[in-house]
Structure 1
């Protein structure tokens, strides 16, 4: 009997071979690679270390219709960004057969600052990108997989590094208005004095949404950035202030809608939602010479969240089961890295050595029972100090004209101390937890070869990890009822590999194809709603991705990608015998068109497809597949004055942003005592959060 992994790679290699030999037009470089490709049409050397990394430019984001700021990450091929609550909460992310929840397996950084929160009140790796101002994004550098030494915690499926513009050529004021009481004012200005550039922006806005219970989102955002030189030779100092308040319409049982208890956009709880803030200061410095390069960045972040939710409805009482998750922390850290360019005598090797440090000082992280946002009981409250230190070593070597390699080694150490502060059954928890991992990385690049266009082949392999919540690693009892629980590891190991290729088959057309696999030691997840860690077992995933980026004429961009994956637990669920990983989307696709030649008219169109995914391990319950489109159209009244119209969900698709399967109760069911509702039992069924209907937004921008 053949080993299943061997069979998979045999099939993968055959697929790649046939693609190059007979279907070369489907081979190649990843979507959105414009700035990573050299100007010479036949020079790909040094472009990238894998087939699934790239850089997104500001120009590629300009004409992209966005419902939410975090949708800027959908420029990463295969990434899906949705929401199951209010717009002040972190989004839901999906990539490579992972339900990333709110960010547990994808690491993002903004101007060198980590966004993922460790040991967070709502969930491990919580990645709230609602503070982004898309108009200020200068670039998004993304990688997939665990192959880069620079990527550590949470970078299981990959990472993204978002950088704002270092200078603003034109200051502007933009006023946005739209349906459902959408309003937004953005004022951004820039000033240069010699080599110093100052960029500042203020954003205020609000949105009620289509919900029967208005969202009442109030958002305030500000950025001030001082830069000099470039990212390779210069410095930047960035201050950011963000806060938001909102009322949420959570996911609800489908039967509450179909049974007429609430409307399609109705809510079961009148006071869900929350408030959050993020204040930060970051600085980075870089210097590059003919013999080496040095980089340094430091940051400090003040963060807080008070989130109120009633996701199970009325299981335990007619008052509902609302709870508050609260997080109050300061985190600080940085990275220093130096690279040596060793020259021809050492095969033009670039040798890099660096260290990363991060400390989360969490003054209070808690779970509380509430009614109408008033605390009635403390389930658990803890103080946490968590420190992460990493050392990384990487060597890139050009062995021949057609072979280069990247060899990396990373050592991580995480130490945490959890101190219980309150909670009847929580005081026996807490203590110290510590874990470390050494992660080797290897990448090989073959080419460029002239196969109906310059083509490179990639092979990547590596180890990575994501951390678990420190409270789960120090747990002894369930804070809900005092029953004994088993502590879980502080680090979950991951191992991945990938074969890929990228090519430029025609002028203006870049394409990539890759096959990959990933093994995760455990799907352990900290459940913020319950204050415990839920074990899910080891898992295996594999998939195929094809991405394209085409510039058929000046000012025109077409990007298209399709991704298929399969996610399975290593062992079957004993209750239903199933091995499927719930909410792992097996098939996604997107198609985008952007047009802006500098004339009077400009705009963009995007289509996105989400395939049906299993809602539980047996796969008997599945979501509904759907596609949707969004449009942006713009008109320049004068060179300094323009008007835009965004039509989100262009064809008014009736679908769901997210679907789950689980136990919940509606108010009517609790009143009737149906299925034990109101007395501690829920009714299993489909839980959903509907896609927002067609929405029009008008923008007016004046530049000066």
Structure 2
């Protein structure tokens, strides 16, 4: 009742708003004037690498999305899947990484970090469900370790989401199969001093599953006030997100083959979660100074069961993970230009700080969501501060030199229910970045980049000396893990019909070690090496039709030998292909088709087990009449029976031998589904 009241209040407020205004683009140090169609922005002379880009809000609205997290698939080579309920963070893949739920790819919204350090479910946990896609102004993305303003979790890349200051006034209702319902209300009001934007989203979904109703109940609220202040642009943003859901997790293939369950069935029907995120953030951007600050309250309760009766043949292996924290921090930077003996120079200097005050991060054994044993329970205070500097020098009219550096310090205090795992830890790391670009002509530019990066390990792993439950002695792990990358690229832009880029890249990681939230301990791994080729091409056939193609090929291997282990990296994805065709003219009709193909992934270190490839085709058709906009989204048009994700590990059904069976565990791609939207603009 409370959620419905909040939504109704926002809808009533929006009805009184003025006519729609053009969305204010997110400002950027490198690009001063951003258009709404990001793919048609000329980045020649502005970008420092071939693998960075801008995604405009118009492009986001053109593409049908099954889940909010799929907005990251606008980044060439990025794969977004799901192995659980729709309220949980997605699973991400990029540049040969199984990024799990966000490790090694950092995300920011309005300057606020999304990745969670020392999280109850996984290091770098990234849940994008709190974003309303229609309120995004643009996404600036960078891949690789070449940018000094990107730190923790950014070895594979970084995405920065900007929010609109003004927006079109809409009320939209979407309905679809499997009880999908979404009500969106948004709009902006001109005030005497600035602009006020309000948006509300209410979503419900039962899903296609045979044995459970997903029963997703999601609420998003956004309020943003912006105005000119002291020769700069100021914005104050309040966001609120609340969600609850039941989950159909991955299931063993043998259970499907034996007819124990349907491919859309579940073995444990009491799984799911509850999640919330509330934030206040402020930003100020002037010609030379930029500052932002934020406070975030985040909570998660998650119930999972991946092995069924392998560890506990009596009660089952279901477990609960909790995470409750307050995050606060900010960034201040100064940006200016200087002429040095006739050579133009651009400088960016800044400081970033963040504090995660985690009052509870826990792991518990449960049965039907009822706790009966505490595996681990901790409180963590984790702090970081970073200084960074990025400089660009115009050596000639064609040559640009990019030089950057940053220094990060991280400290943590862990208070565990087991005194042997309590303690303090700290670490620091210095990273250098460099690049050289040459503009061969008005249409061509080449790039060479090198850089160092890092990701943090879970703070609990840096103080732990005993394995929970077994009391086995272990060694604490390093807090910060080095990555080193390089890239050679080229970009073409002809201002009217064609935009393309190609990049050859290389990345070394000192360690793949991660804290495993499912077990409450650390999973050691080895140093690794990845390299690959990425191609992105966008072609406007005429003023109505456009075609795009994105291809990523990757090779991933461990570089250290280990007894009884192969050198393939589990979960690495060697090939990703995405293609889109869009018809968008001045008349009332618009349509698009989007093909996504994910190649076979290795599921074990010997590459003896590989997932099947998957291909999905999505499409939409839109019609505009006066103030009405009608949209039909058809997802998984070919009704592919492929899996969203596959794993290979041991599990046990209650009728099987105590040692369990190694098997593929799959989460199916959702069947073909139709969604219809009606939007009224006022």
Fold match by TM threshold 0.5: yes
Question: Which of 315, 318, 321 in structure 2 is aligned with 1:322?
Answer: 318
**1:618 alignment partner in structure 2:** 606
Q: Is the 8 A contact 1:64 1:594 kept in 2?
A: no
**In structure 1, what is the Cα distance between the partners aligned to 2:623 and 2:53?**
31
- Equivalences for 1:652-667 in 2 at 5 Å? 652-666=639-653
Q: Is the 8 A contact 1:480 1:530 kept in 2?
A: no
- Equivalences for 1:324-473 in 2 at 5 Å? 324-343=320-339, 345=341, 347-420=343-416, 422=417, 426-449=418-441, 454-473=443-462
Q: Is the 8 A contact 1:573 1:617 kept in 2?
A: no
Distance verdict in 2 for CA 1:232–1:481, change over 3 Å:
farther
CA RMSD in angstroms, aligned pairs only: 1.5
**2:11 alignment partner in structure 1:** none
Q: Is the 8 A contact 1:566 1:586 kept in 2?
A: yes
**In structure 2, what is the Cα distance between the partners aligned to 1:534 and 1:701?**
49
> How many residues align structurally?
644
**In structure 2, what is the Cα distance between the partners aligned to 1:639 and 1:227?**
30
Question: Which of 294, 299, 302 in structure 2 is aligned with 1:299?
Answer: 294
Are 1:488 and 2:488 matched, yes or no? no
TM-score by length of 2: 0.93
**2:55 alignment partner in structure 1:** 56
**In structure 2, what is the Cα distance between the partners aligned to 1:255 and 1:689?**
13
SS of residue matched to 2:165? coil
Question: Which of 647, 660, 682 in structure 2 is aligned with 1:682?
Answer: 660
Gaps of 5+ in 2: 1-36
SS of residue matched to 2:421? coil
**In structure 2, what is the Cα distance between the partners aligned to 1:210 and 1:523?**
35
**2:14 alignment partner in structure 1:** none
**In structure 1, what is the Cα distance between the partners aligned to 2:321 and 2:470?**
18
Q: Is the 8 A contact 1:527 1:533 kept in 2?
A: yes
SS of residue matched to 2:470? coil
Deviation at 1:505, TM superposition (A): 5.7
**In structure 2, what is the Cα distance between the partners aligned to 1:230 and 1:87?**
40
- Equivalences for 1:203-602 in 2 at 5 Å? 203-212=201-210, 213-229=212-228, 233-288=232-287, 293-315=288-310, 316-343=312-339, 345=341, 347-420=343-416, 422=417, 426-449=418-441, 454-504=443-493, 507-575=496-564, 577-602=565-590
Deviation at 1:389, TM superposition (A): 0.4
Deviation at 1:480, TM superposition (A): 2.4
Q: Is the 8 A contact 1:501 1:514 kept in 2?
A: yes
Deviation at 1:195, TM superposition (A): 5.2
SS of residue matched to 1:688? strand
Deviation at 1:603, TM superposition (A): 2.3
1:360-413 CA distance string (max 9 Å, x none): 000010001111111101111011000010000111111101100110010000
Are 1:36 and 2:47 matched, yes or no? no
Distance verdict in 2 for CA 1:445–1:231, change over 3 Å:
farther
Distance verdict in 2 for CA 1:282–1:346, change over 3 Å:
farther
1:422-466 CA distance string (max 9 Å, x none): 3xxx3311101111100000011011336xxx2111000000000
Are 1:696 and 2:678 matched, yes or no? no
Q: Is the 8 A contact 2:69 2:90 kept in 1?
A: yes
**1:185 alignment partner in structure 2:** 183
1:337-358 CA distance string (max 9 Å, x none): 0012113646210112100000
1:265-300 CA distance string (max 9 Å, x none): 100111111101000000000111xxxx11000000
Gaps of 5+ in 1: 1-31, 39-43
**2:133 alignment partner in structure 1:** 134
**In structure 2, what is the Cα distance between the partners aligned to 1:326 and 1:285?**
34
Are 1:648 and 2:635 matched, yes or no? yes
SS of residue matched to 1:147? coil
**In structure 2, what is the Cα distance between the partners aligned to 1:230 and 1:606?**
42
Deviation at 1:599, TM superposition (A): 1.7
Distance verdict in 2 for CA 1:231–1:396, change over 3 Å:
farther
Deviation at 1:506, TM superposition (A): 7.9
- Equivalences for 1:6-155 in 2 at 5 Å? 33-34=38-39, 36-37=41-42, 44-45=44-45, 47-155=46-154
Q: Is the 8 A contact 2:38 2:138 kept in 1?
A: no
**In structure 2, what is the Cα distance between the partners aligned to 1:380 and 1:368?**
7
SS of residue matched to 2:400? strand
SS of residue matched to 1:481? coil
Distance verdict in 2 for CA 1:345–1:166, change over 3 Å:
farther
**In structure 1, what is the Cα distance between the partners aligned to 2:100 and 2:157?**
14
**In structure 2, what is the Cα distance between the partners aligned to 1:497 and 1:566?**
15
Deviation at 1:624, TM superposition (A): 0.4
Higher mean displacement: 410-419 or 193-202? 193-202
SS of residue matched to 1:255? helix
Deviation at 1:164, TM superposition (A): 1.4
Higher mean displacement: 358-367 or 598-607? 598-607
Deviation at 1:166, TM superposition (A): 1.3
Deviation at 1:318, TM superposition (A): 4.0
**In structure 2, what is the Cα distance between the partners aligned to 1:66 and 1:495?**
34
Deviation at 1:131, TM superposition (A): 1.1
Q: Is the 8 A contact 2:42 2:493 kept in 1?
A: no
**In structure 2, what is the Cα distance between the partners aligned to 1:217 and 1:318?**
30
Deviation at 1:574, TM superposition (A): 2.0
Deviation at 1:144, TM superposition (A): 0.1
**In structure 1, what is the Cα distance between the partners aligned to 2:229 and 2:85?**
38
**In structure 1, what is the Cα distance between the partners aligned to 2:326 and 2:373?**
26
Q: Is the 8 A contact 1:594 1:603 kept in 2?
A: yes
